[in-house]
Structure 1
Amino acid sequence: MTKAAPDPRAVREASLDELSRLGLPLPPLSFPLVWELGDTVELRPLAELEARAAVLHVVVARCFGMPTEAAMSWLLTSHLVELVTPPEWQFVIGAKGDHRSFVLHHDAVFALAWLLGLGRHLDPAVPPDDHLMAQMPDLPSGETFGRWRSRSLVAARDAAEAAVLLDLYYCLDWAFQEAEQSGRPLPGEVDSNAIGQRRWALEWAVIFHGPYHDKPPEWEEVDLSV
Structure 2
Amino acid sequence: MTVPAPDPQAVRSLNLDELGRLGLPVPPDQFPLVWEPGDTVELRPTAEIEARAAVLHLVLARCFGMPPEVGMSWLLGSHLVEMVTPPEWQFVMGSRGDHRSFVLHHDAVFALAWVLGLSRHLDPTSPSDDRLMEQLPHLPAGETFAAWRSRTLAAPRDAAEVAAVLDFYYCLDWGYLEAEREGLRLPGLIDSNAIGQRRWALEWAVVFRGPFHDAPAGWEEIDLST
Deviations 1:40-62 (A, max 9, x none): 00000000000000000000111
Could you list the runs of 5+ residues in structure 1 that have no partner in the other structure? none
CA separation in 2, counterparts of 1:202 and 1:193?
14
1:130 shift after superposition: 2.9
One-letter identity of the residue aligned with 1:63: C
CA separation in 2, counterparts of 1:28 and 1:131?
37
CA separation in 2, counterparts of 1:48 and 1:101?
22
CA separation in 1, counterparts of 2:56 and 2:181?
29
Q: Which residue of 2 aligns with 1:172?
A: 172
CA separation in 2, counterparts of 1:133 and 1:187?
25
Aligned Cα root-mean-square deviation (Å): 0.5
Q: Which residue of 2 aligns with 1:137?
A: 137
Give 3-state SS (helix, strand or coil) of 2:161's partner: helix
Q: Which residue of 2 aligns with 1:213?
A: 213
Q: Which residue of 2 aligns with 1:4?
A: 4
Q: Which residue of 1 aligns with 2:47?
A: 47
Q: Which residue of 1 aligns with 2:82?
A: 82
One-letter identity of the residue aligned with 1:120: R
1:153 shift after superposition: 2.8
CA separation in 2, counterparts of 1:120 and 1:153?
15
Give 3-state SS (helix, strand or coil) of 1:130's partner: coil
CA separation in 2, counterparts of 1:75 and 1:191?
31
One-letter identity of the residue aligned with 2:3: K
Deviations 1:41-97 (A, max 9, x none): 000000000000000000011101111111110001000000000000000001100
CA separation in 2, counterparts of 1:18 and 1:159?
21
CA separation in 1, counterparts of 2:109 and 2:17?
26
Count of residues in correspondence between the two structures:
226
CA separation in 2, counterparts of 1:129 and 1:205?
19
Deviations 1:134-182 (A, max 9, x none): 0000000000000000010310000000000000000000000000010
CA separation in 2, counterparts of 1:61 and 1:178?
32
CA separation in 1, counterparts of 2:7 and 2:49?
25
One-letter identity of the residue aligned with 2:5: A
Q: Decide whether the 8 Å contact of 2:110 with 2:129 is kept in 1.
A: no
One-letter identity of the residue aligned with 2:199: R
CA separation in 1, counterparts of 2:130 and 2:100?
20
One-letter identity of the residue aligned with 1:183: G
1:20 shift after superposition: 0.6
Q: Which residue of 2 aligns with 1:161?
A: 161
Could you list the runs of 5+ residues in structure 2 that have no partner in the other structure? none
Q: Decide whether the 8 Å contact of 2:120 with 2:129 is kept in 1.
A: no
